[in-house]
Copies of this chain bind each other. A is one copy, B any other.
Amino acid sequence: MSGGPEHPTPELDKRKAFILATVVYEYIATAEPVASQSLTQKYNLGVSSATVRNEMAELEAGGFLVQPHTSAGRVPSDAGYRTYVDQLMQREQLSVEDRRRLGDELRDASRELDEIIESTTRVLGRLSQNLAFVTKPQHDTTTFRHIQLIWLSARTGVAIVVTSIGVSAQTLFELLADVTPDDLTRLSNALNARLGNRTLRDIGEKDVAAATTELNLGDDVKDAVVSALRTAASSEQPVISSSGTQHLLDQPEFQDLRKLRSILRIVEEQKTLYDLVADSMTLEAPAAKIGHELGVEEMTDFSIVTVPYRFGPHAVGMLSILGPRRMPYGRLMALASGTAQTLSQRLDDVGIK
């Protein structure tokens, strides 16, 4: 311990690192506190259980392990998992089996965006044996393709916005003054001519205003269109598809119902869930948030693995797996990555060139 650097995560010597990694690995597999002796028996450590005990005691002092009670084995702490994920575990590739099932199950998915997302979520839930959730694509970086204003009555209509990834929104609108079907058709045409091939994000109010004033239409019409485009770009409360709640019940740590109740509520509410993963949208690699890192009291026993998926060059949504802290990070991160890749691929296939 003499020359050790004073990092927040102090450097671990080789043996400690190996022991920590093994404890985490073993605990993930068995859900039982890991004893020094079982380690020396199962793994070839080259030292006795007494030595392992000493090391474990130091790992506990360093905050990587905790003991449920005096005469029990050790269990990883959040910091222990973190170190494991960041430094110790090997990055896994998607297993052949998983890759096959992923391909199989998504082969015959429909071409409809929503159904693609839903079926991807279901597959991810099933393969991960945890709760999977997927945010539906944000359209703000996708390319505008078409807007159609449909006349329903003198003062009502529907606005439909189509982007390169599909139909992104339909909005009912009400106007203050009468318009004719022809007004709306001409406005649609004007907007389509003007806005083509730009990303939704880049389309501003004045682009719309230019079209409406040209056609002598009121500001109420302009506002309706702007709001339709805005809704299309990103719904204020992003929608999440989720699947696999029942798998959580299988985890031994959730035999206690209290832990489950709040999770179910959070999953239904969606908003908290979204906020938890939102910051992972800009990342390249899969990210794991572990226990307290989630910053939500009720979720300290859970972890979330998140990875963005893309449409074209931009990340448009995220795929996540929610499970016990004791989750197989390596496999799930590989699985999430692989699924995200498959999904991105599929969106590119389906997308409108």
Tell me the A residues contacting B by CB distance below 8 Å. 111-112, 145-146, 148, 150-153, 156, 158, 160, 162, 166-167, 170-172, 243-246, 249-250, 255, 257, 260-262, 264-265, 268, 350, 352-353
Contact = CB atoms under 8 A, between A and B. Distances in A.
A167 B158 contact: yes
A151 B162 CA distance: 10
A249 to B, nearest CB: 5
Given A152-B145, A156-B352, A162-B150, A261 B250 contact: yes
Given A162-B150, A353-B153, A170 B172 contact: no
Contacts of A150: 146, 148, 160, 162
A166 B172 contact: yes
How many copies make up the complex? 2
A162 B245 CA distance: 35
Given A243-B268, A261-B250, A111 B172 contact: yes
B243 A264 contact: no
24 contacts: A112-B171, A112-B172, A146-B151, A146-B152, A148-B148, A148-B150, A150-B162, A152-B162, A153-B352, A153-B353, A158-B160, A158-B162, A160-B160, A160-B167, A160-B170, A167-B170, A244-B268, A245-B264, A246-B261, A246-B262, A246-B264, A246-B265, A246-B268, A249-B264
- Between A171, A244, A268, the greatest number of chain B beta carbons within 10 A of the residue's beta carbon is seen for A268
A352 B160 contact: no
Contacts of A250: 261
B146 A160 contact: no
A257 B268 contact: no
Contacts of A111: 172
A264 B263 CA distance: 13
A29 to B, nearest CB: 22
A160 B244 CA distance: 32
